[in-house]
Structure 1
Amino acid sequence: MYNPFFSSMMLALESQKVVELRLVRLAWGGRESVAEMQSMVVEKIHASIEATSMLMWGGSPEAVIARYREHVATNSKRLSAA
């Protein structure tokens, strides 16, 4: 059985880790900082377009949350490795 509250809560918790990692990267400054700022903006735009199109084509809010969690996991892995 799917629990939307649990998925939403997990997305919020996982996102906090990415926010922390990004803030550290931004605090260090330099080229990596500028690249991270640019990628944040581009990622937000792409994610909003993807979520909108998923919903317009009949996708469920649960599917959108699951996709956002995939993006967050990818970012967390990328930022943790650096």
Structure 2
Amino acid sequence: MSRKPDTPQISDWMSLAGQSWMLWGEAASVIWLRSLKLAGGGASARSEAVRMVSEKVASQVEIGMAMMTNPMQGPEAAARASLQHYRSKVRSNRRRLSK
């Protein structure tokens, strides 16, 4: 039985599962680091809270616009694009908050 060229293989989905797991771990560390910063209070905590909410809104708009203007080629492509988008945002927050 031959596979259609545009049909994702199980290894493609396993790769996405691995990337999802990495995103989960990175996001958990960002949540922990942000919680520490917010617990400290003061102007720094207020600016972090504002930044956190504004980043989430901006990120949702970015990925929504990307999906509307550049139609994905199926669920695997949409999942891969979303993971890449969010992992880059989370990774940069983790680096910034770890300093």
TM-score (norm 2): 0.76
CA deviation profile, 1:21-51 (whole Å, cap 9, x unmatched): 0000000000000000000110000110111
Q: What is the count of residue pairs matched by the alignment?
A: 81
RMSD: 1.2
Picking from 35, 41, 44, the partner of 2:47 is 35
Picking from 20, 23, 30, the partner of 1:8 is 20
Q: 1:74 to 1:68 in 2, by over 3 A?
A: same
Q: What's the CA shift for 1:61? A: 2.1
Aligned counterpart, 2:92: 74
Give the SS at the match of 1:4. Answer: helix
Q: What's the CA shift for 1:9? A: 1.1
CA deviation profile, 1:42-75 (whole Å, cap 9, x unmatched): 0000110111112222242201111110111100
Distance 2:61 2:47 in 1: 21
The alignment-based identity, stated in percent, is: 32
Residue 58 in structure 1 maps to residue 76 in structure 2: no
Question: Based on CA coordinates, which of the two structures has the bigger radius of gyration?
Answer: 2
Distance 1:58 1:8 in 2: 21
Distance 1:52 1:61 in 2: 13
Aligned counterpart, 2:56: 44
Flag structure 2 segments of 5+ consecutive residues without an equivalent: 1-10, 73-77
TM-score (norm 1): 0.91
